[in-house]
Structure 1
């Protein structure tokens, strides 16, 4: 979400007005708006976690031999075989994308660590150079 959005999970005049209007019209609407204001920024992470949990659960069901519990056989063997192959291919593609996402997250984390290390080293070098200039009294060089 961009910080320029009119209705975003924050205490803006628009969200406060919607919350008050929601309480006046029907109290669960006001309560829902209050929850959005307080915890709306966590919704994206929550949705991603639920998706991953669902993928793991369905994958474990396939591995245990239960198949797809909500899929029905059409009676056309050729179509059912094709569908199973496509679903297996899509599952492999999903796993490959998930691995690439994890690999990129690790790469980005390593870049941030390297940048932080570089900034810290620069700070320490500047601090060392400052100390070499002489003693510091009351925050000023003496």
Structure 2
């Protein structure tokens, strides 16, 4: 036995169950779920056996949403923690402050742009409103 081959390695000629398991593992969790559903459709004890195997072997709940949410939550705040390199931390703080200033400036620009658009729309409305009664009066005079 060589040092690189562990004793628990798969045999050279695995059975059809091991081949099927490897094939499903290569395709991931959706393949296991489809196989389980087909098992329930064809013969319900087969589907039940696949469900039990998936739960027992942790193929069904190996990486839950809770684990992914926690890790992404922690990664989001990793940028705020100090790295231990004072020069990099100073650069990072300066860059974050500059980005926050740019964001504030951009939000102010958008607010001014919305205000200008709203004022132009209001002015147009008031002009149309003030013009309408005059046009109606002139039409009434022309008809009479």
Which TM-score applies when normalising by structure 1?
0.43
Q: Which has the larger radius of gyration?
A: 2
Higher RCO (CA-CA < 8 Å; seq separation 6+):
1
